[in-house]
Amino acid sequence: MNEANVTVVGWLAAEPFFTITANGTPFLSVRVGVTPRRFDRGLGQWQDGETMFLTVNCWRGLADNVNASELKRGQPVVVTGRLRVRQYERDGQWRFSAEIEATTLGHDLSRGTAHFRPVQRGGALTEEDRREAREVTDQWALTGPAPEAPTSTALEDQPTTETPETDQDPQQQPQAA
């Protein structure tokens, strides 16, 4: 109940990593970069702040949906989810990792358009799934310096793939206006 829910607007800093856990649970992890901008009245121009990189973890249906959406590095996104700060030991040193367990992730529609295709939802998450995900997301902490922010985040029209609409929950269907 007392969760740290956050919304982050940024861009994909790396290609999404998709896998299926040993229990058969879909899992997707991606890095999202956020660069704050402030208007400097003295200079009369915008100034970029220090870029922050977060690991975003997606489970089950959301992982499948993000994977099928063909999100690419450099594209603008909006992420909502639970903030997790994790401490772990690697090579004798204590490290911290800021992660978001996403409840939603999608393109930032203030910067482009998207094509929506409804799909079905999945089942429960196990502790073994969470352990496997921690091992996978540690790869982000082990990489070298973070990549630079893209200079252009213009969206290109991405190809779409149709999803079969069998056994869908009628409540998930779009409502007529």
Q: How do the domains of the chain map onto residue ranges?
A: 5-142
The confidence score (pLDDT) of residue 53 equals 93
- The pLDDT confidence band at residue 16, using thresholds 50, 70 and 90, is very high
Q: What is the mean pLDDT of residues 45-49?
A: 93
What CA–CA distance (Å, rounded) separates 127 from 133?
10
Q: What is the mean pLDDT of residues 144-166?
A: 43
pLDDT over 90, % of the chain: 54
pLDDT tops 90 at residue 151: no
Q: 5-142: CATH homologous superfamily?
A: Nucleic acid-binding proteins (2.40.50.140)
More confident: 48 or 123? 48
Tens of pLDDT, residues 86-120: 888 889 999 888 899 999 999 999 999 888 877 75
What CA–CA distance (Å, rounded) separates 111 from 131?
36
Asked whether 63 and 26 are in contact (CB, 8 A), the reply is yes
The confidence score (pLDDT) of residue 175 equals 42
The confidence score (pLDDT) of residue 105 equals 96
Tens of pLDDT, residues 59-88: 999 999 999 988 999 999 999 999 999 888
